[in-house]
Amino acid sequence: MAQVMPENPLVPEGDWLALALDIGGIGAFDLNLASGELTVTASCKAIFGCDPTASFSRQDLLAAIHPDDREQAALALQGAAHRDAVYRVAHPDGERRIEIKARQVHTGPLRVIGVVRDATHCYQAQMRLEALRAELLRVARLNDLGAMASALAHELNQPLAAASNYLHAAERLFARDPAQALGAIAKAEAQFVRTKEIIQRIRSFIGPGRDQRAPEDIETVCREVLDLARMTPRYDGVGLFLEAATGLPAVAIDKVQIQQVLFNLLRNAAEAMTDGAARRVTITATLQDTMVALRVADNGPGLTPDIAAHLFQPFHSTKEGGMGVGLSLCRKIVDTHGGSLRHEAGNPGAVFCFTLPVAG
């Protein structure tokens, strides 16, 4: 006959369950909510950097957690709302990330049974992945900048040449008509300001991928992307349009990251359209409840169901030499902003829609 395992979910130390948890690097605890008595395994104490033979109370556990995380951890120890979260812990070997999973048990005295796991390595791996993703986005922006380099040189040359002409005119006019000379100097200054704005826009676009969110005017964000796109030869012959609803609220975004999403969607749309008349891509911005919705629509041939089914899968590309990470990264950026990105079939063409939260 098979052996019946003990009913107590927290088996005394030395029994099979505590040993299995210890082997897996998992600690367990049993908190009596009525008395406040906390029973823990030795591995639980070790995860918090405590001597396995020393006493360990609920207060000791909370004291080890970072002050900013302590309130949420206290809720987890009550089994409130089935909370599973990661908390910062002051450990003798340095700050750690600890995952706590806890549930209330209603058989007998009200108790909370839980497990504790050191999630530091997972957290560090996630941070490395985020850093790699940010660098990949920056490289993508540099590649885009390379494609528009000659157009940018022309774009910068225009205001610089105009400023030079105004200054030469001012030099000729200064002796006989100082007022006109001052007017020419003012026009030259305006051209220098325009040059500065172009350079700042480029620097912002290729800057590091740090997540720096702030309230932004989405219409301005979209217009800047369209201005950059118009400098790129691949958009020659493509009409780029913006239709923004009036009075849109600010959105809470990292401007560089969202502009990269828009630029990627514009590039995909331009590359999908065959040569012909009336090629156009339109960005539409509207308000939907507490979100601003953006649609990037083209009038190309659209996507087949087979291609559409794999659009957001990493490393899946229909382009020759493509890495297949563009749309996957775009979705990740939008997701981390609290929005969503999806594809819709256009009539004709393809439509990519994504949402962004309104700034609080």
Contact 318, 307 (CB under 8 A): yes
- What is the pLDDT at residue 213? 84
Q: State the Cα–Cα distance between residues 240 and 269, nearest whole angstrom.
A: 11
- What is the pLDDT at residue 11? 46
Residue 1 lies in a domain: no
Say whether both 219 and 313 belong to one domain: yes
Q: Which domain holds residue 60?
A: 16-118
The type of residue at 121 is: H
**pTM (predicted TM-score):** 0.48
Say whether both 232 and 357 belong to one domain: yes
Q: State the Cα–Cα distance between residues 289 and 253, nearest whole angstrom.
A: 17
Domain boundary among 50, 84, 118: 118
Residue 359 lies in a domain: yes
Long-range contacts of 217-223 (CB under 8 A, 24+ apart): 217/248, 217/250, 218/244, 218/248, 218/250, 218/251, 218/285, 218/292, 218/294, 218/356, 219/244, 219/248, 219/285, 221/253, 221/255, 221/258, 221/259, 221/262, 222/262, 222/283, 222/285, 222/294
Condensed to tens digits (0 to 9), the pLDDT of residues 109-148 reads: 788 888 888 888 888 887 887 776 677 666 666 666 665 5
Residue 178's pLDDT band (boundaries 50, 70, 90)?
confident
Say whether both 232 and 244 belong to one domain: yes
Domain count, the chain: 3
Say whether both 224 and 334 belong to one domain: yes
Condensed to tens digits (0 to 9), the pLDDT of residues 258-294 reads: 887 898 898 888 887 776 668 889 999 999 989 999 9
Say whether both 172 and 84 belong to one domain: no
Q: Which sign, positive or negative, has the C-alpha torsion 268, 271, 272, 278?
A: positive
Domain boundary among 181, 210, 239: 210
Long-range contacts of 131-137 (CB under 8 A, 24+ apart): 133/209, 133/329, 133/332, 134/208, 134/209, 134/210, 134/211, 135/209, 136/325, 136/329, 137/209, 137/257, 137/260, 137/329, 137/333
Residue 7 lies in a domain: no
Mean pLDDT over 231-247 rounds to 85
Q: 178-206 vs 218-230: helix axis angle to the nearest 10?
A: 100
Domain boundary among 147, 177, 210: 210
Condensed to tens digits (0 to 9), the pLDDT of residues 283-327 reads: 999 999 899 999 999 888 877 666 666 666 544 444 443 333 467
Say whether both 221 and 187 belong to one domain: no
CATH number for the domain harbouring residue 337: 3.30.565.10
Q: State the Cα–Cα distance between residues 99 and 233, nearest whole angstrom.
A: 51
Residue 3 lies in a domain: no
| Lowest model confidence (mean pLDDT) among 49-58, 113-122, 156-165 | 156-165
Residue 123 lies in a domain: no
